Amino acid sequence: MKSEEGRLVRLEGEWGWVEPAETGGCEKCRLCHREGKEIRMRNRVGARVGARVRYLLDTEEMQRAFLRWNVLALSFLLGGLFLGYLAGKALGRSPEAGILCGALLGLAAAIPALRRLRRPQVQDPVICDIVKEES
């Protein structure tokens, strides 16, 4: 879990919208349910509008999913390389052509497998602490 700070700008029931203090990496991340500059998150500490709050983002699950995708794609690529090399040698052709064809077929076979991987279940961000209550 990654801890960040921001300012609570509005409330709707148990949900609060927080404007992050720093948004440098937000364009790349996409972990949050963003509405403009605001992130929707659960307000379990009872913070009020205007308060500076600390919140938690679940980054570990996204990193694990990214690793699974890359390992699977690399496995298919290497398997295709190996099978292409063996096929090229068995057919009496240049092994380089077999390696290239095997790599392309391996990556093509990886696409349906990658689509079957389920999207990571990222938890909603949660306000965990009130840093400074504004009046």
Whether residue 37 contacts residue 120, with contact meaning beta carbons closer than 8 Å, is answered with: no
78 plus 96 within the same structural domain:
yes
Question: What pTM was estimated for this model as a whole?
Answer: 0.55
Total domains in the chain come to 2
The reply to whether 68 and 43 lie within a common domain is no
Is residue 7 domain-shared with residue 55, that is, in the same domain?
yes
What is the per-residue pLDDT across 70-95, written as a single tens digit (0 to 9) for each?
Answer: 899 999 999 999 999 999 999 988 88
pLDDT for 21-77, tens place per residue? 776 556 666 555 555 678 888 888 888 898 999 988 777 777 887 888 889 999 999
Q: Are residues 37 and 71 in the same domain?
A: no
Q: Which domain holds residue 36?
A: 2-59+122-132
For residue 34, give the CATH number of its domain: 2.40.50.140
Could you give the 3-state DSSP secondary structure of residue 110? helix
Q: 23-58: buried (b, 16+ CB within 10 Å) or exposed (e) per residue? A: eeeeeeeebbeeeeebbbbbbeeebeeebbbbbbbb
